[in-house]
Amino acid sequence: QPCRPQAGSRSGARHHRGWVQFGGLVCPGPVRNGSSVAGYCAARPALELQGRCCLSREPELELELGNGVLMWDPSVCSDLTENPLENIPNTSFQGFTRLQSISLPRALECPGGSMAWDLNTTHGDSRTCQGQRNLCNSSGELAWLCPENSQCSPDGPGLVQCMCSGRYHGYKCLREGTFPLLLFYGTLGAVTTILSLLAWGSQRRKAKAS
């Protein structure tokens, strides 16, 4: 059956870091039997199965429709099978560090490649990727080298980011610590006042008007 926007969805884009934009639409209908999504949803009381998605009961995680494109939060809606998706760009999953399981059409690769997942199984014409790996720890092809003063942290399946470590901050982690402004200006003000008074007292006090 053709895919349509799910009934009851609101229009207008909501910009939230977790939203992913796809050119395709999620097909309504029940989650297929044996899908890992169903098991995942059943196990957690805070989540409920709506159509093919396992959603949280809180309102901000609803599906929304904007400009003909469906935006959804794959951190919970993890069943993308039977979607006319051709290619998911790698950066689409940026930020989904807690995505533990996702089901895709079999033709698609696991996001980030098979190295990014512990388990990569196929059932019929769907593929399930489970257990996101932390690529920072791996010592394989992606032995990640972050620049000075930064350390590697995961940024989604197959993605890593370099965040500033320790007390370093600022652009390119060049800055360390905070400058003691108050102490500096306090000392400078005091010294300047004393020296100015000293100088004026010893030198200019007897000066003729100029």
Q: Among 32, 106, 123, 175, which residue interacts with other proteins (rule: CB under 8 A)?
A: 175
Q: Among 172, 182, 183, 186, which residue interacts with other proteins (rule: CB under 8 A)?
A: 172
- Element spanning 198, H or E: helix 181-202
156, burial (CB in 10 Å: exposed 0-12, middle 13-18, buried 19+): buried
CA distance 57 to 38: 16
Shortest distance, position 130 Cβ to other proteins, whole Å: 24
**DSSP-assigned beta bridge partners for residue 54:** 49
Structure token digits, residue 4: 């349509």
CA distance 53 to 41: 9
Q: Is 161 in the site for other proteins (CB under 8 A)?
A: yes
Q: Among 43, 145, 182, 183, which residue interacts with other proteins (rule: CB under 8 A)?
A: 145
3-state helix/strand/coil string of 74-126: CCCCCECCCCCCCCCCHHHHCCCCCCCEEEEECCCCCCCCHHHEEEEEEECCE
203, burial (CB in 10 Å: exposed 0-12, middle 13-18, buried 19+): exposed
x/- contact string, 84-123, with other proteins (CB under 8 A)?
A: ----------x-----------------------------
Nearer Cβ to other proteins, position 108 or 146? 146
Nearer Cβ to other proteins, position 59 or 204? 204
Q: Is 134 in the site for other proteins (CB under 8 A)?
A: no
Shortest distance, position 176 Cβ to other proteins, whole Å: 5
Q: Is 16 in the site for other proteins (CB under 8 A)?
A: no
Q: Which stretch binds other proteins (CB under 8 A): 26-34, 45-53, 121-129, 181-189?
A: 181-189
32: CB partners within 8 A, 6+ apart: 38, 52, 79, 81, 126
* CA Rg value for the chain: 28
Q: Which stretch binds other proteins (CB under 8 A): 12-20, 71-79, 129-137, 175-183?
A: 175-183
Q: Among 34, 131, 184, 186, which residue interacts with other proteins (rule: CB under 8 A)?
A: 184
Q: Is 195 in the site for other proteins (CB under 8 A)?
A: yes
Binding site for other proteins (CB under 8 A): 94, 145-147, 155, 159-164, 170-179, 184-185, 188, 191-192, 195-200, 202-204, 206-208, 210
